[in-house]
Copies of this chain bind each other. A is one copy, B any other.
Amino acid sequence: MEESEFKPEIIVDFREAFSIKLKLSELGSRVVEKSITPADYVLSENCAVERKTLKDFLRSIYDGRLFEQVERLAKAYEKPILIVEGYTLQGLENVENPKIFWGALARVLAEWGVSVIFTPDERGTALFLYSLAEKLQKESERRVLAKRKPRVYTLREKQLLILQGLPNIGPERAAKLLERFGTLRRVFQASERELLSVEGFGKKIVRQIREILDTKYPGLEEI
């Protein structure tokens, strides 16, 4: 018995198959049975798993249950995962309309950002759950740093960002302006003539810029 071995804790809905709980236990995780909704397994504070057999998956596409459940799962957890169990060639061949099957998968992924994993059987499901729980919980410490970067802009980025507030100016034209004039202040001093000489700037855009820069505030905006 190694003390150093890490034991992930997995919360399992009490209605889930016994064999999976057993397997998870054997693998070395602490299994906690609870009545949970909307998921079947909770692997970390923000990661939960819904498990469906292939057969149930297919049925639930048609009766709409799939999207309901997936929606609730996605709302409740940052990292929602769907496991489709019993994924075999045989099973797939029974799918009458592959287009609907793959379409549903795509929708789950695109619309709700749910990751989908296919396992052949309960053993595979358990192995995957265990591995994932282990990774998530081990690294939860490390993750503290890996969290959202506050995104601090450099001075250079700020300069570009301001110019992009002008109409029809994106990153590209913003860069052109700064390259040509050197500083923001000089860009804003530029005459219509000077602006026209910059690549990518024509009559129309220059006119708009001038309007914004030189219209008296508050502009007479009434209707």
Among residues of B, the one whose C-beta sits closest to the C-beta of A156 is: B219
A128 lies within 8 A of chain B by Cβ: yes
- Using an 8 Å CB-CB cutoff, how does the interface string of A116-127 with B read, 1 for contact, 0 for none? 111010011001
Contact A106 B131, beta carbon cutoff 8 Å: yes
Instruction: Give the number of residues in A that approach B within 8 Å (Cβ atoms).
Output: 63
* Copies of this chain: 2
A18 lies within 8 A of chain B by Cβ: no
- Considering the chains assembled together, what is the distance between the CA atoms of A113 and B136 in angstroms? 11
A166 lies within 8 A of chain B by Cβ: yes
Contact A184 B178, beta carbon cutoff 8 Å: no
- Considering the chains assembled together, what is the distance between the CA atoms of A219 and B159 in angstroms? 9
Q: Which of B124, B132, B217 contacts A178 (CB 8 A)?
A: B217
Q: Say what secondary structure dominates the interface of chain A.
A: helix
For A183, list chain B residues within 8 Å (CB).
213-217
Contact A135 B107, beta carbon cutoff 8 Å: yes
Q: A124-B102, A217-B156, A217-B182 are in contact. Are A136 and B117 (CB under 8 A)?
A: no
Q: Which of B99, B136, B156 contacts A127 (CB 8 A)?
A: B99
- Using an 8 Å CB-CB cutoff, how does the interface string of A165-196 with B read, 1 for contact, 0 for none? 11100000000001100111100110000000
